[in-house]
Structure formats: C-alpha cells, structure tokens
C-alpha cells in the first residue's frame, strides 16, 4: 500500500472569528491510500493551537510507510491530524474493498438526517445580531464568545437571542474567560436559554472547575484530545467535544465516545472548518451525541463535490462523499 497527501486551500464565505483570531481560508490536508486497485481518502485540518502545520502534516503522511491497519496505527502514530487523515482513509479503503458502508463496518447505526449547530462568528453585538437574524430559522446556533470584556459578551449573547428567539443556543468561549467571568456570564446564559457552554476557561486552568456545579453543562474541547485524561475531565465537565483531528481518527473517536459515556459524560461531536470529506466520518458519531456541530462546509464559499447534504440546519449523508 501507499499513502500520499496534498494540501488544499478553501475560501471561507465570510471572515470567521473566534476568541483565538480570524480565518479567511481553510487549509486542509487530504490523504489518499491505495492498494493498487482501490483507494481511500481522509481529510484533516492541522490546528495551530496544538502546533500543527499543513506542510509538516502533509510531509508526515507522504513519508508514512505503515502500518496500514487501524488498531496498529493507534500505537504507531500520535493522536492528531495526520493520524486522523490516514485512519479515515483506511476506513474508506476498506469500505470500497468490501462493498460495505463504513457505518456497517464500524458496528454503529446508519447515520440519519441530523440537526447540526451553525456558528455565529464573534463580532460586535450589532453584527452578531445580524448574523442571528439571517439564521434565525435554524434549529441550533453556536455563539462564539470569549472576549476579555464579559459585559460585551453578555450583550452579544442577548443580541443573538433577541434576533433568533425560537432557536436553541449553545456558546463557545474558546478558552477566553476566567472563572470569575464565567460566574458573571451564567445568569445571562440561563436567562437566554443557553443549553451548553463550551471550553470557558483555558485548558491550563481546568483545575479551577473542580467542584464547580453550574446550572448549564460545560463542555471540554481544547481540554480533551485523544481521551487519555477523560477520568480527570469528568470531574470538571459534563460534556466532551470529540473532534477527529484531536482524537486522531474515527477509530479512536468511537472508543472515546464509549469511554466518555461510561464515565457519565454527554457527547458533543465537533469539527474544524473543512469540507464534507472531514465531516462524513464524524457523522458516524452523531447518533450517540447530544450535540452535533458539523457545520464546517457551510462556512466555506463552496464545498467539495460530491458533499454531504445540508438543508435548513440539518446534515445527512449522500452517496460518493466517503465510506
């Protein structure tokens, strides 16, 4: 077998801003594994938060010489985007060789039409109100917050709620707050009906959440990678956001979901900004997740074709995307 990788750059429809900065393009690495007859593909997003770089990830995959077996891969490579792309390519390859869909091979339920969050990018309150008004008919919005001015973050949230009154809301602070800011934010979040607050504190400050019992569940994102620290995370959070680029592939992500549920944690399935080739493997986790956030392709100026089907805040599989 042989693995190759290419870097692709996809334009984002409008500047995508979080507490960490603004993105205008999505740089992805696509791995292809061939056995000479069939080939499988997997896509990953190198994430600077963890020191990843597209050039290095692509070179790592191009130099990869095995093992070409998913369980052995877990021991041979560290978690991260390169392993994710290779793992997903191996799943895709097996599906094509066997003629069976990946969900069947993985022993999970067939993916169905699923509600996905749509992200309201961080901006000043009036601009976020405009975004919310545009997407007010979607079933679930994810509101990006996390500035160092908690009063303005509260104004942002209230602006979104006012302009999207029937929509369910979750919030993502991207490590942008202190515990004191979180405490100030929670009453407004309760008033606005927020259902989840994602990664409010920096991962390095997680210990401050020990014994904190908020009225709204907290989700670990940057604080959870391949799940090695799940038992500790379960003492600080109520939900874990599983992203394949952090977990290092679908194989590990499926095991993480099982381990998290055994610890009493709810599951969120998340993504980076990327194409449907990244989202399709993650969609296999949707049936066990309380929250699904796989809107990456909707944030792009255009998705790859064929792609997943996105319609009014729902996402579903279409033939030929992956697996």
Which residues are identified as catalytic? 144, 243
Q: Is the dihedral of CA 125, 291, 77, 110 positive or negative?
A: negative
Q: Using an 8 Å Cβ cutoff, are 198 and 177 in contact?
A: no
Neighbouring CB atoms inside 10 A of 104's CB total 13
Least Cα distance to 203 among 238, 228, 233, 226 occurs for 233
Written as six digits, the tokens of 159 are 């602006």
Q: Using an 8 Å Cβ cutoff, are 256 and 242 in contact?
A: yes
Q: Using an 8 Å Cβ cutoff, are 93 and 70 in contact?
A: no
Angle between helices 81-98 and 250-262 (to 10 degrees): 100
Edge-to-edge strand list for the sheet holding 114-115: 114-115, 314-316, 309-311
Q: Using an 8 Å Cβ cutoff, are 182 and 197 in contact?
A: yes
Write the DSSP assignment of 219-253 as a string of letters: EESTT-SSSTTHHHHTTT-SEEEE-HHHHTSHHHH
């Amino acid at each position: 077998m042989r693995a190759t990788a290419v870097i692709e750059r996809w334009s984002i429809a409008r500047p995508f801003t979080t507490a960490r900065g603004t993105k205008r393009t999505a740089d992805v690495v696509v791995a292809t594994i061939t056995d000479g007859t069939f080939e499988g593909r997997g896509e990953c997003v190198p994430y600077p938060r963890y020191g990843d770089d597209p050039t290095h990830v692509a070179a790592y995959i191009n130099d990869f010489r095995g093992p070409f077996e998913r369980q052995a891969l877990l021991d041979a490579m560290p978690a991260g985007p390169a392993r994710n792309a290779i793992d997903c390519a191996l799943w895709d390859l097996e599906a094509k060789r066997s003629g069976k869909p990946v969900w069947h091979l993985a022993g999970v339920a067939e993916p169905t039409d699923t509600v996905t969050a749509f992200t309201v990018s961080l901006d000043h309150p009036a601009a976020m109100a405009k975004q919310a008004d545009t997407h007010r008919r979607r079933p679930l919005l994810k509101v990006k917050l996390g500035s160092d001015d908690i009063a303005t973050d509260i104004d942002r949230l209230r602006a979104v709620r006012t302009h999207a009154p029937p929509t369910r809301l979750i919030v993502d602070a991207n490590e942008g707050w202190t515990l004191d800011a979180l405490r100030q934010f929670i009453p407004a979040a309760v008033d606005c009906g927020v259902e989840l607050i994602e990664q409010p504190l920096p991962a390095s400050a997680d210990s401050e959440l020990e014994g904190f019992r908020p009225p709204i569940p907290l989700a670990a994102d940057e604080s959870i990678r391949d799940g090695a620290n799940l038992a500790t995370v379960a003492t600080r959070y109520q939900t874990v956001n599983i992203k394949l680029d952090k977990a290092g592939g679908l194989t590990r992500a499926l095991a993480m979901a099982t381990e998290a549920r055994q610890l009493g944690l709810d599951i969120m399935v998340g993504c980076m900004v990327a194409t449907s080739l990244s989202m399709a493997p993650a969609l296999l986790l949707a049936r066990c997740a309380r929250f699904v956030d796989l809107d990456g392709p909707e944030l792009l100026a255009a998705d790859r074709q064929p792609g997943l089907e996105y319609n009014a805040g729902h996402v579903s599989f279409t033939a030929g995307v992956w697996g």
